[in-house]
């Protein structure tokens, strides 16, 4: 078996230099370490990804000469080592010893002294080095600039909250039981949790727990879903028997919630990835619900639409994910500034193409897990300026950032992710 620290360094190398996501890397690489070491590997790679830009700066301060490009694995081993000394409650001498051993295991014997000396220097000078670190929030420069411009008053909190691991929130199946009833059962089984502030069916655990320990999970009584994501089904007006479209449905959490919110829905779930639709089906099977699943680009309306209008559409649009960095810290490493304009074009195209499929009097909820105005308020402003039969409905929801175009939530510690919602109503039949 490969050591946990070496696997972590190799994963980090693939994320930083090859653009691989943690979701792609972890499932296969975790199988290479003992099962009891897998949580430690995840802790290392999530943490080092979360603070990579700061770790990179610190390495530059404690290494006398830059490490050659062909030896980037040594750079990542150092990053893993510094992260342990900085952020983890570990015995420092043991962390240094094991990281040096990892260098030898990686067949970089030449770097053994370099890694040992660098980590010991960080250990000695940690307070001064961290005080001088200009990238303590560890956000990429392009995103720093956008967030400062968009949220000058909230910028520091956004960075701080995005660097705190997210709590584990659950959605209680309203067709099966109430959050109050589930909380009582959970308490009897030693699970501490409380009701969410905004979601009518949400609870948040005091500490994350394996799903196998959650009462009723396998039976479909409860699903893992952040409170912000739960608001999508809650904010979209639907009633029993409605024809509903979930335009970008994978992995199926919101699809399931829509089906749990009303009886006898005629629900079509689309996703561009046939493989990801398998996950949607698995989630629906677990909660005992059914929907029509079609693998298609939602913008390619002619390919999948039968001409029958929808009463309600959920457009959880592809986005930068900047509101969920605390769950997916590799977003900081994988997203680029140019991605935002490309995503904005996709988002606007989806709005334009899906609008004609909505029935007069129907509602479309536009949602993203982004906190960038380019993907949110600016998208709605552009759409409203081009379409005559649309009304932006005011949402009865507290906003972290108020706008007539929708509600922007920012990530909150011990609370919800960053999310945006805009509810649009079709006012006449001009486009049908």
The residues that bridge with 313 in the sheet, in sequence order, are 245, 364
Q: Is the pLDDT of residue 259 over 60?
A: yes
Share of the chain above pLDDT 90, in %: 95
Which domains are seen in the chain, by residue range? Answer: 4-132 (1.10.940.10), 169-224 (3.30.70.1170), 232-426 (3.40.50.150)
Residue 431 pLDDT > 50: no
The active-site residue, picked from 232, 319, 369, 432, is 369
Alpha helices for 288-404 (secondary structure H): 301-304, 331-334, 337-354, 377-386
CB under 8 Å to 24, separation ≥6 — which residues?
none
At residue 429, the pLDDT reads 55
The response to whether 207 counts as a known ligand-binding position is no
Residue range 329-351, pLDDT digits in tens: 999 999 999 999 999 999 999 99
Does residue 136 have a pLDDT over 50?
yes
202: Cβ–Cβ under 8 A, 6 or more apart, which residues? 169, 170, 171, 172, 179, 195, 196, 225, 227, 230
pLDDT in tens, 187-230: 999 999 999 999 999 999 999 999 999 999 999 999 999 999 99
pLDDT at 11 exceeding the cut of 80: yes
pLDDT of residue 428: 78
Please state, rounded to an integer, the average pLDDT across all residues of the chain: 96
pLDDT digits (tens, 9 = 90+) for 239-254: 999 999 999 999 999 9
Does 251 count as an annotated binding residue?
yes
SS3 of 195, please?
strand
- Residue 47 pLDDT exceeds 50: yes
Instruction: Place 265 in a pLDDT band, splitting at 50, 70 and 90.
Output: very high
**Model confidence at 35, in pLDDT bands (50, 70, 90)?**
very high
| 430 pLDDT above the threshold of 70 | no
**Token pair recorded at residue 19:** 């653009």
pLDDT of residue 432: 41
Average pLDDT over residues 306-326: 98
Per-residue pLDDT for 75 more than 70?
Answer: yes
pLDDT exceeds cutoff 60 at 411: yes
CB 260 within 8 Å of CB 289: yes
Nearest Cα neighbor of 390 from 373, 371, 408, 365 is: 365
CA distance 2 to 101: 12
- Mean pLDDT calculated for residue range 108-132: 96
Consult the annotation and say whether 254 binds a ligand. yes
Q: What is the pTM of this model?
A: 0.94
248 in a labelled binding site: yes
> Average pLDDT of 301-310?
98
Known binding residue 297? Answer is: yes
Burial of 226 (0-12, 13-18, 19+ CB in 10 A): buried
Query: Annotation-wise, does 34 bind a ligand?
Result: no
Check whether 271 is labelled as a binding-site residue: yes
Say if residue 250 carries a ligand binding annotation.
yes
Q: Which residue is it, tokens 């930068």? A: 320
Residue 369 is a catalytic residue: yes
Q: Which pLDDT tens digit goes with each residue over 377-395?
A: 999 999 999 999 999 999 9
Angle at 37 between CA 36 and CA 39, to 5 degrees: 95
**What integer is the mean pLDDT of 300-328?**
98
pLDDT of residue 45: 98
Mean pLDDT of 165-173: 97
């Amino acid at each position: 078996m490969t050591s946990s620290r070496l696997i972590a360094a190799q994963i980090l190398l693939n994320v930083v230099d090859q653009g691989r996501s943690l979701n792609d890397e972890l499932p296969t690489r975790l199988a290479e370490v003992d099962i009891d070491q897998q949580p430690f590997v995840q802790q290392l790679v999530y943490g080092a990804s979360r603070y990579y830009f700061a770790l990179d700066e610190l390495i530059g301060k404690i290494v006398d000469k830059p490490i050659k490009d062909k030896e980037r694995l040594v750079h990542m081993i150092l990053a893993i080592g510094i992260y342990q000394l900085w952020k983890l409650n570990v015995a420092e001498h043991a962390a240094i010893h094991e990281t040096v051993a990892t260098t030898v295991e990686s067949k970089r014997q030449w770097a053994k002294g370099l890694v040992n000396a660098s980590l010991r220097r960080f250990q000695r000078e940690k307070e001064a080095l961290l005080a001088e670190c200009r990238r303590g929030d560890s956000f990429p420069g392009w995103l720093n600039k956008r967030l400062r411009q968009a949220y000058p008053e909230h910028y520091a909190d956004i960075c701080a909250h995005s660097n705190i691991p997210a709590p584990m929130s659950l959605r209680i199946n309203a067709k099966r039981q109430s959050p109050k009833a589930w909380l009582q059962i959970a308490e009897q089984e030693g699970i501490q949790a409380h009701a969410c502030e905004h979601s009518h069916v949400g609870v948040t655990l005091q500490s994350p727990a394996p799903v196998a320990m959650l009462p009723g999970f396998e039976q479909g009584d409860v699903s893992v879903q952040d409170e912000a994501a739960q608001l999508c089904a809650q904010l979209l007006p639907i009633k029993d028997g409605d024809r509903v479209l979930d335009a970008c449905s994978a992995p199926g959490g919101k699809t399931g919630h829509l089906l749990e919110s009303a009886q006898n829905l005629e629900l079509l779930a689309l996703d561009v990835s046939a493989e990801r639709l398998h996950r949607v089906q698995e989630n629906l099977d677990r909660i005992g619900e059914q929907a029509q699943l079609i693998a298609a680009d939602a913008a390619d309306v002619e390919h999948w639409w039968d001409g029958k209008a929808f009463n309600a559409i959920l457009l959880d649009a592809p986005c930068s994910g900047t509101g969920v960095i605390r769950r997916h810290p590799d977003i900081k490493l994988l997203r680029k500034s140019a991605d935002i304009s490309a995503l904005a074009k996709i988002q606007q195209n989806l709005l334009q193409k899906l609008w004609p499929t909505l029935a007069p009097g129907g509602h479309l909820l536009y949602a993203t897990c982004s906190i960038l105005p380019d993907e949110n308020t600016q998208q709605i402003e552009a759409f409203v300026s081009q379409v005559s039969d649309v009304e932006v409905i005011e949402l009865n929801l507290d906003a972290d950032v108020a706008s007539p175009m929708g509600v922007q939530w920012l990530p909150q510690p011990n609370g919800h992710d960053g999310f945006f919602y805009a509810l649009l109503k079709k006012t006449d039949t001009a486009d049908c």
